[in-house]
Structure 1
Amino acid sequence: MTADLHPIRRALLSVSDKTGLIELAQALAARGVELLSTGGTARAMREAGLTVKDVADVTGFPEMMDGRVKTLHPAVHGGLLALRDNEAHMGAATAHGIPEIDLLVVNLYPFEDALARGAAYDEMIENIDIGGPAMIRAAAKNHRFVNVVVDVEDYAPLLAELEAHDGQTSYTFRQRLAQVAYARTGAYDAAVSGWMADAIGETAPRRRVVAGKLAQTLRYGENPHQQAAFYTDGTDRPGISTAQQLQGKELSYNNINDTDAAFELVSEFLPIDGPACAIIKHANPCGVARASTLKEAYTRAFDCDRTSAFGGIVALNTILDAETAAEIAKIFTEVVIAPGADQGARDIFAAKKNLRLLVAPGLANPAAGGLAFKQVSGGLLVQDKDNGRVAADDLKVVTKRTPSDAEMADLVFAWKVAKHVKSNAIVYVKDGATVGVGAGQMSRVDSSTIAALKAGRMAREMGLDETPAKGSVVASDAFFPFADGLLAAAEAGATAVIQPGGSMRDDEVIAAADEAGLAMVFTGMRHFRH
């Protein structure tokens, strides 16, 4: 036995999730490991024919207070914390009849599950584990001698380690288990504190803790010299974290970021209102459309900016069919994500080995709440997700001319798209499809000009006699501080405008719109996206 190898002679198992429990316990018992346990875990092992010693027999106290008190005892924590090479520690353990515990297997009360199903306050309180985290932290602190397992996925590695070292584990293995254990209790406490802040209406708690679970180690980040990984937050929101990848290469950091942007945008459009498609490049929409068929929605979105669509991300709001898949397959596309894909579509994409096809469990709810985080030097900015939405009835007409019904429908469509375009954002829409998008410029006038230039370029590429921006509507994510941005839109051919309003020069802008014959509506809401 080398210095860093230590045998497992006694194990304490106390788990809420019984997955793999019996197989693990049987493997340990076969190696002569003494099994200690509590409550339902002990009962499950005994029913499987295993010999189990109750923790109550070790502590000399029965489980009490509805199971709230069972492992909070020196006989347990002493067995976990005693330093095996410290004579005083071991002398105290012998004097007080405290058995060494070499392995702790604990997974905590299912607090996160109760949270996900919206359990009532009192039930949430009862799902807060006390003894489990205390034992985990004790065992992890003493990882020089003690193994602590908190995840079912570590059962197999534990048994493989024991097989490799003849019933012993290495120090590096115990270190890894300890790190996982501390991360688990940290994530658990983050869930509890986050829930309680919401429950008592604390919007800005003194300490905010966030946690995630590794979903994928990535080849690199935004650039090859950056290391990266993808973590999920435990929520069941349909989208990139809950989607199933049916084919294609492993998703990259940029793929994940852009696919999330695409799916969140297309989720603004309910299938009941018709098929919709969003094409994203570098986290910005380069084409969005709604139509009577999914194929038409894709082709109309593609026609907004064919150049940028090459190598882009395609998101769809209905099940992908073979006809649409055949159209998408005509150019190189990085990722396609949809609520589903029929067999014909899957067969067509099978010939495109590098194309990633993802199916999500439904659409994301754009009106759902939640928090958004942004890292800054030395801290985090935390805000509510931008779930603001407007309908036609919410809009205030501020010009002499009222938008037509067709213009109003396009204005609402354009506003939904503008919400997902980097500021400053200008979006031209005609007949339910974007025809020009200007994103991320320091000047709103520049965004308007770029969107118009893109529309003109597509007109030339498609052999059209005039720019599709003529007769379009335009959305601005924030107010026009001066009339120049509005006039640039009018010059491009827009006939109606949707914007938040609220500028000191609103009267000047409204007057300019009237003089140009534009219809304009105010939303009273802006959509900055930085």
Structure 2
Amino acid sequence: MAVVSKKIPAPDRVGIRRALLSVSDKTGLVELARELVRRDVELVSTGGTKKAISEAGLPVIDVADVTGFPEIMDGRVKTLHPSVHGGLLAVRDDPDHVAAMEANGIAPFDLVVINLYPFEQVVAAGSDYPTTIENIDIGGPAMVRASAKNHAYVTIVTDPADYDEVIAMLAENDGCSTLDRRKAFAARAFQRTASYDAMISAYMAEQLSLPPVARHHATGGTLSLEMRYGENPHQGAGLYLTGEKRPGVATAQLLQGKALSYNNINDTDAAYELVSEFDPATPSVAIIKHANPCGVATGATLAEAYRKALACDQTSAFGGIVALNGTLDAEAAVEIVKIFTEVIIAPAVTDEAAAIVAAKKNLRLLTAGALADPRAKGLLVRSVAGGFLKQERDNVVVDDLDLKCVTKRQPTETELADMKFAFRVAKHVKSNAIVYARDGATVGIGAGQMSRVDSARIAARKAEDAAQALGLAEPLTRGCVVASDAFFPFADGLLSAVEAGARAVIQPGGSMRDEEVIAAADEHGIAMVFTGVRHFRH
């Protein structure tokens, strides 16, 4: 049964006379405490926080003197006491609450400054399970939630970044807090505890290998970058970090260039996830435009791989994102800066390459430190009206699949290598996806069409345009292989690929008309391999 409110009006201003401070991050603590003492605010504190304030020569009361009870159990129990929580939760205009405070010697807190045990940092440091669990804060979130609930009277602050705002509020309001600011701080406090608990939940689920679909799910993150806008100028946007240890755009170091936009980050993530599919021993480059690859290739060097990838679709590559699976060197940098590029991302960069890229001051250069593991487990969340979808990351790698040739003609070793390459790329192309490949490079990509036949035709047309741009007599799809992210429901999609010049096909199989498609392949002397795994990407 819901608790019924007494509907007592909240005051606009509340004088800050007593403050409770308990922080793990001591940044700005002394400066804030000094300002509070200057305003004759009584300070109550705990452990290391009290020590830091005392060492600064400022008067502070130990919380144990308020509770009449010492810290016990290695500090696990110190603030979970009526003298603390009564002072946080009391409704000061309720006669019953006031009487309870007087009867039990409880004094109210007007300002509460708390930041939580550094759980996220402990996880990021790779600490063992017992150490990580010990860094789950209990008393801190309890006090934060109590203070935030009672924002009618209590100002709750959970981030050192807000200390200046508190000081300014007191200066502007004669040492008082205001209701609108208390509400704003309370909202931030609940956001903080929600994010904190979500990260604990995610850590526990990962450590215990819990099923991906649970009864409840929470997603937490810390703002890393507030952007000017989202996909379009009228949409607000920000980048949040979840603590996941996956190399990529979210945690990459920006060496130069303007701040990344929403679309930059989305496209760069797509590019780096794709290029991470390739063994770093094989130089590989992916060029992305609007979250779809417009060219992917391998080569003897990164420069060669880039030239081959660019040849697939030079027009779309203009203003694109370039991802490399090895250290960006000078030779590759020289090639990349020849056309307008928004972002370059690689595990690392040489000093020579960085100097070359520096000539293009607006070009963003990112280093991710390492490649992402394509086989690693993870969760993907996407919002829908009224809720969200959650699924496991597609971590199936073509090299791990048991490929089955279903046609009379077997693929050659060269064709099989290109088929694996093409299927690896198709995994990262929006469905319906068709990828033509030859000699370790894409030569035509069809993405995001409602019909697989349309994707096959668009990819072939792209190949024709590329051939014309390169001054070739015929498109590179002549004699290529083709990959499809899902099965061909009819033979028409396969026949479109054959018409474009494909000589070998890799696809999941599993259609009711597989026999019809296999028969069409045999009729045209095409080799076809089934993977048994689909790679839809929407």
Decide which of 449, 467, 490 is 1:482's aligned counterpart: 490
CA shift, 1:93, in A, is 2.6
Deviates more, 1:378-387 or 1:352-361: 352-361
> Secondary structure in 1 aligned to 2:120?
helix
Decide which of 128, 147, 150 is 1:139's aligned counterpart: 147
Deviates more, 1:288-297 or 1:170-179: 170-179
Instruction: Give the match for residue 6 of structure 2.
Output: none
Instruction: Give the match for residue 67 of structure 2.
Output: 59
Instruction: Give the match for residue 297 of structure 1.
Output: 305
Deviates more, 1:171-180 or 1:160-169: 160-169
Instruction: Tell me, yes or no, if structure 1 residue 72 matches structure 2 residue 80.
Output: yes
CA shift, 1:118, in A, is 5.7
Decide which of 322, 325, 328 is 1:314's aligned counterpart: 322
CA shift, 1:473, in A, is 1.2
Q: Structure 2: which amino acid aligns with 1:249?
A: K
Q: Structure 1: which amino acid aligns with 2:479?
A: G
TM-superposition CA deviations, 1:447-466 (whole Å, max 9, x none)? 11111111111111111122
> Secondary structure in 2 aligned to 1:271?
coil
Decide which of 105, 118, 128 is 1:110's aligned counterpart: 118
Instruction: Give the match for residue 385 of structure 1.
Output: 393
CA shift, 1:44, in A, is 4.1
Deviates more, 1:366-375 or 1:146-155: 146-155
CA shift, 1:305, in A, is 0.4
| Conserved? CA contact 1:392–1:408, under 8 Å | no
Q: Structure 2: which amino acid aligns with 1:180?
A: R
Return the alpha-carbon distance in structure 2 between the equivalents of residues 160 and 9 of structure 1. Answer: 16
Decide which of 127, 132, 144 is 2:135's aligned counterpart: 127
Return the alpha-carbon distance in structure 1 between the equivalents of residues 209 and 489 of structure 2. Answer: 40
Instruction: Give the match for residue 284 of structure 1.
Output: 292
Instruction: Tell me, yes or no, if structure 1 residue 235 matches structure 2 residue 232.
Output: no
Instruction: Give the match for residue 354 of structure 2.
Output: 346
Return the alpha-carbon distance in structure 1 between the equivalents of residues 497 and 352 of structure 2. Answer: 43
Return the alpha-carbon distance in structure 1 between the equivalents of residues 398 and 531 of structure 2. Answer: 7
TM-superposition CA deviations, 1:232-276 (whole Å, max 9, x none)? 222232112112223333322222211111111111123222x21
Instruction: Tell me, yes or no, if structure 1 residue 204 matches structure 2 residue 216.
Output: no
Instruction: Give the match for residue 188 of structure 2.
Output: 180
Decide which of 274, 290, 295 is 1:265's aligned counterpart: 274
| Conserved? CA contact 1:340–1:359, under 8 Å | yes
Q: 1:423 to 1:136 in 2, by over 3 A?
A: same
Return the alpha-carbon distance in structure 1 between the equivalents of residues 124 and 236 of structure 2. Answer: 31
| Conserved? CA contact 2:319–2:340, under 8 Å | yes
Instruction: Tell me, yes or no, if structure 1 residue 216 matches structure 2 residue 225.
Output: yes
Return the alpha-carbon distance in structure 2 between the equivalents of residues 127 and 61 of structure 1. Answer: 23
Instruction: Give the match for residue 244 of structure 1.
Output: 253
Q: 1:334 to 1:467 in 2, by over 3 A?
A: same
Instruction: Give the match for residue 373 of structure 2.
Output: 365
Instruction: Tell me, yes or no, if structure 1 residue 425 matches structure 2 residue 444.
Output: no
Instruction: Tell me, yes or no, if structure 1 residue 508 matches structure 2 residue 505.
Output: no
Deviates more, 1:349-358 or 1:483-492: 349-358
Deviates more, 1:239-248 or 1:53-62: 239-248
| Conserved? CA contact 2:13–2:176, under 8 Å | yes
| Conserved? CA contact 2:224–2:241, under 8 Å | yes
Q: How does the TM-score come out when normalised to structure 2?
A: 0.91
RMSD of aligned Cα (Å) = 2.4
CA shift, 1:105, in A, is 1.7
Deviates more, 1:80-89 or 1:218-227: 80-89
CA shift, 1:385, in A, is 0.7
CA shift, 1:121, in A, is 5.2
| Conserved? CA contact 2:485–2:534, under 8 Å | yes
Return the alpha-carbon distance in structure 1 between the equivalents of residues 356 and 171 of structure 2. Answer: 46
| Conserved? CA contact 2:401–2:531, under 8 Å | no
Residue ranges of structure 1 left out of the alignment (5+ in a row): none
Deviates more, 1:157-166 or 1:423-432: 157-166
| Conserved? CA contact 1:415–1:498, under 8 Å | yes
Decide which of 520, 531, 534 is 1:523's aligned counterpart: 531
Q: 1:247 to 1:164 in 2, by over 3 A?
A: farther
Return the alpha-carbon distance in structure 1 between the equivalents of residues 378 and 27 of structure 2. Answer: 31
Q: Structure 2: which amino acid aligns with 1:486?
A: L
| Conserved? CA contact 1:500–1:523, under 8 Å | yes
Instruction: Give the match for residue 407 of structure 1.
Output: 415
Deviates more, 1:438-447 or 1:124-133: 124-133
Q: 1:235 to 1:163 in 2, by over 3 A?
A: farther
> Secondary structure in 1 aligned to 2:281?
helix
Q: Structure 2: which amino acid aligns with 1:241?
A: A
CA shift, 1:58, in A, is 0.5
Return the alpha-carbon distance in structure 2 between the equivalents of residues 363 and 122 of structure 1. Answer: 29
Q: How does the TM-score come out when normalised to structure 1?
A: 0.92
Return the alpha-carbon distance in structure 2 between the equivalents of residues 5 and 248 of structure 1. Answer: 46
| Conserved? CA contact 1:496–1:520, under 8 Å | yes
Return the alpha-carbon distance in structure 1 between the equivalents of residues 365 and 167 of structure 2. Answer: 36
Return the alpha-carbon distance in structure 2 between the equivalents of residues 260 and 454 of structure 1. Answer: 24
| Conserved? CA contact 1:197–1:205, under 8 Å | no
CA shift, 1:439, in A, is 0.7
Q: Structure 1: which amino acid aligns with 2:77?
A: V
TM-superposition CA deviations, 1:442-487 (whole Å, max 9, x none)? 1111111111111111111111122111121111101122222222
Q: Structure 1: which amino acid aligns with 2:271?
A: A
Q: 1:87 to 1:120 in 2, by over 3 A?
A: same
Q: 1:269 to 1:160 in 2, by over 3 A?
A: farther
Deviates more, 1:233-242 or 1:453-462: 233-242
Q: 1:196 to 1:18 in 2, by over 3 A?
A: same
> Secondary structure in 2 aligned to 1:394?
coil
Q: 1:163 to 1:317 in 2, by over 3 A?
A: farther
> Secondary structure in 1 aligned to 2:395?
coil
> Secondary structure in 1 aligned to 2:460?
helix
Return the alpha-carbon distance in structure 1 between the equivalents of residues 410 and 439 of structure 2. Answer: 18
TM-superposition CA deviations, 1:196-229 (whole Å, max 9, x none)? 4452724322221112222233222222333333
Runs of 4+ aligned residues of structure 1 deviating over 6 Å after TM superposition are none
> Secondary structure in 1 aligned to 2:43?
strand
Q: 1:502 to 1:249 in 2, by over 3 A?
A: same
Percent pairwise identity: 64
| Conserved? CA contact 2:321–2:342, under 8 Å | yes
